[in-house]
Structure 1
């Protein structure tokens, strides 16, 4: 069986036991774990099939993404056990972890935690950042969930993924009533009917939010204010009932039912309205939001073309709503804000009597004062000064009502021309496996190492074309005989192309198409075409980057010129030889599979095809002779494979080759003589048209043989075979060409 090469340490795998705190627990569901911005669980980056399910309760599971960062050839991946603890009040932490920490260790109740134990990276000793996507809707409430049928609002992300946002009314309700971390108000202090109406409106609008709060990010009241800013709402205490009210700025009123204040019904005075300058009017609102599925900040723009034209410029107003998780909702909010910001809004200061005591912030009301030129106006209350009881005056700063969330958004998300590349590895369709040549050993080993190579030693050489642009390289599985596959070694992808038309033995100008990685081709290096090795002397690539032509020198190293069919694959071997780092002996059959890898994964071995090669002592064999010619007549010199037709006497000539002298040089079939290798002789065989041996000449030491009329048996249509031998070992490839003779 194959002899394993000496192991070489090229790096290390790094393992850790990590405890991670995700936040207050419990939560409804843990949806995704990313490491280094790549999905590791419950689906691997670049794949669509889930290998695990999301977590809704305490679980012992695992992360199985060992090639997330390219496997052992790059930065490894994530693989190991995963303990999920939701932080329930009765939670008992794993004993093994407590023993690992030592001392008094709590059970971490009330906190969502994870324990990962396993591989975190390879080669690079710096673990990457872990991030988590969670959902909390109904878990962890202080008491029963308030109207659970409205808490989850379905939304569609830009990727087409369905997500669930939380109803902002429920967020505010919990902030108000939770006794652990909220304000701790009794639920009886809330006007349940009005809050429920707001929750229903937000549910109907699809106004679901995805946002988090912790004490480090600010005070709770700031978080509540941010939620109200998102939805265009207000919370206040009703001055008659003492209950907390939640109201929205919406066009949800009947004009005739709004309170009307005139000089006869509570209106004391109206100061002259203030109008904003049109030059300062906002013509564009830019809403920045957080697309939660891809975990990216994005933006949407809404424009008022009339304002832009009248102001002869774009006055933009950026605003951030970090709790908005999808484009559609961001577009609707952008239009809402644009309507308010682009209107030349009049500001009023209105003085009313105590009949206005029920007006609350953001409330809509009507005024009519013909003496001031106001026949009828609908205002929205802003700042309210209720004054002193003995004064009987309430002062309201208000604006004309232009608020409300549009039911239809006319902003369309422009489809991106960019498509996320498929990071899944694919099987390689262009693969060539053979035994390594002596020249390749010389290039890869020192002289001292070459001295230890035995005649029967051999190694495999693999060349493969890149199956997809995302594939970075490949791992090699190999086995000798019936042994099990061993993963050892790998390679980089070779530039490849296909012949655009068949070529004969002596064609040197070759057309090609289907070129891949053409920028890696080096002039003066080798190209593998079937079993033949040729030297690339020049190459021209067409504008399409995939077709062109190349000039090659044929029959290099230990090969001979051959004919090749149209569409034959060609592999440019420079810097792209794959090897499994194992030694084999003559007669062994080596079976291989190559597993292309991407930054996300390595190809499943069951999808890779097998390629087999039988070791034949290639590196030890002599090279075949070059420049074979048939000389006949007075001056005719016919290349052997052209099929000479001779009359009478003829001569077969060739040039010597020497693997030791040639070393790592690339000598072609048509190049001149090289000092012959010690012990090399040549054998000529002649066969008739029925493939019967006519005669054989062995032990030829020169570089030609003359045949006169004495050799009368050599007549008619024949096949000539020319071998090189060193002692009893022949060259791997022989010359075989037609010859016709008459007298």
Structure 2
């Protein structure tokens, strides 16, 4: 019975195997095409990452793949069966961009599997071959199961690790093109400065390519430290130095190298290393802020040396050696806070990337049990430091951060004289104003104002090292609490209300826009009086200052401000801004509206992004650091009574509370001359010079073509016409109100040339070079182009209150040449010392009615250009000779430009000839004029 059963099973197995083989022929798997391969990251516009220290880079960008080949994978069909195709092995080439070089490769992962580790600092190969050449009984079990169930395409290799040669290029600046890539890319770039890998002969059994990951190391050493590493991390000061020089473009001479090196040594001793992968479009300032946060320091420009420095917040000072704030230089204490335990934190969790735990996100915990006992409650907070990769460092930083948050610290805002003009954020000072004992404090904010102001406003925070650690009883603060008295607003202003606001509120102008900032002396709002008559009340307006110079075309603006948060603004669109004027902010005299607002990380200000510039009747303008910013969208005053156009009025903003107010006699008037603001035209936008918008430099040798985008105050949507010409939006423009434009030029702040108004076209032409030279008394180094708008309304011709203007560096063939002067009839030029020996060629742009003459070293006059001609040559000149010229033409009109080309050198000369004097041709060649028979102009 047993043998019979065995024989029957064998026959049955043979028959079923044969039938499976026949069925499998109809189920042969198909190879995937190259376009069916799925790569984790293959993006053309992805930014090149920057690496500092040692990091794990997940998902490097696949910048090329090709050299596609397919090999069939067959299995023995066994008894009565032919071989069966059970899958395919795919071979192809991959190129993966890593980061800015030069870099070092230390590990490679495929998916979650580590497939290589080592250290490859230069160009070289990594051999990867993890495919097994034998099978276990477990593998054969699945092969048999697959065959018996007619599933020939099923793979038994679940990990599917790749094999092949990985060629690494470190990203040096002399690396050569890859030989393998050169077969597929023509021309093949060397990708200098970019660390990348090429997988030559990548083998996979699936078109779904898992993500590669690489551990790369890049240690900058611009400071030339003896040891630029801190453990496996970069020294943060080398990272900062690289950003300042390579990104911001500062020269090494702009950086206080001894200061940077000292800080680098301190951080190395502390073990405070930095590792970070920047693979997004964040601004360099975000990396600098990250470094400042991790090292507990602040970068600043030293006002005395003009060099960049770092101030590390450390206990490295002697209190009596610090700059002092006391009765001798503090004029006002505007605000102080003793600090309370309820404002402190007693548990801090610091998030970081743990290199030793396979680069998983981790956290370090610090707790102040004494603080918990005082408050009888746990007050937690979280801090993120993404430049930290070591658990020991994370723990140290967590305790450092908690120490600064778990102790009540005193704060103050004072006004001083200018003795601390050189102060900077993070600077320690000795505070001895109205306190029983001196306190070490640090500057957290400083507004130095301008040189003509006699005061500085400084915000201060008690230094952590000057305070005791957490105890069961609050420490003595040393403060003597002053009394506060409500006074007139130090920061306030008034102006005519723009027409765009008047019509949106259904009002009739002229009306007055009032702004007053909270000075924390008890005032809750204010009363508006005009010419001594009460005319409304208003809430206080948020105020700040521009944090860093901004250009006229910038769309991101940082604002230094306190007590204003991003959540108070709307995230909005251009349409909402244009129609409803949401998020409206006054920067200097310009109205701006951002589409988004974010809090700066240190809590001292806001970042406005997606800004629409020059809204309503204002123009985009350049704004300097420290310029006033008013958040009018958060509250601004409008008086009740329509005013008389063009009147001179007196406005007072009187601080009030529910039951009290400052006496009107103690409030200074704001004298305001009304100028019919709501009737005036809008200035244009998008100023271009020679077809370039807000160019850095402009060639003036030919008349400059000036163009702009026109706007009309009658168009309701303020944003729509910022980039679209008003005539496109309203066909009755510019004829409806006879809108016209003219060009003016400024040099060194003064108007030097004014053109005529055009007929309303969106373009103007600058003056000829000779007119610019005459107006500026020589070829200028820079010019400001200003376009003014005017229109006629109610029978009156009114100009816009603001111009669109742009200062540009001048490019001219006359730049750096010697200016002989503007020469009227009979006047002698400035003496010019000949820069070379040889013949000097003279050229006039237009001929004159008499001869042009010159003399050398006070000798006889020579005719260089005869009457009616435009060229001539002064011969026989020796280097060092003194050349002077004159003309006697009083019949010609307009100006003439004379150019003198010196032989073989780049320093030439030029002059402007004018023709307003009457000349009697007698007498000799005298300095200041020819002869003695000259009439005055």
TM-score (norm 1): 0.47
Compare CA radii of gyration and give the structure with the larger one. Answer: 1
Higher relative CO (Cα under 8 Å, sequence separation at least 6) belongs to 1
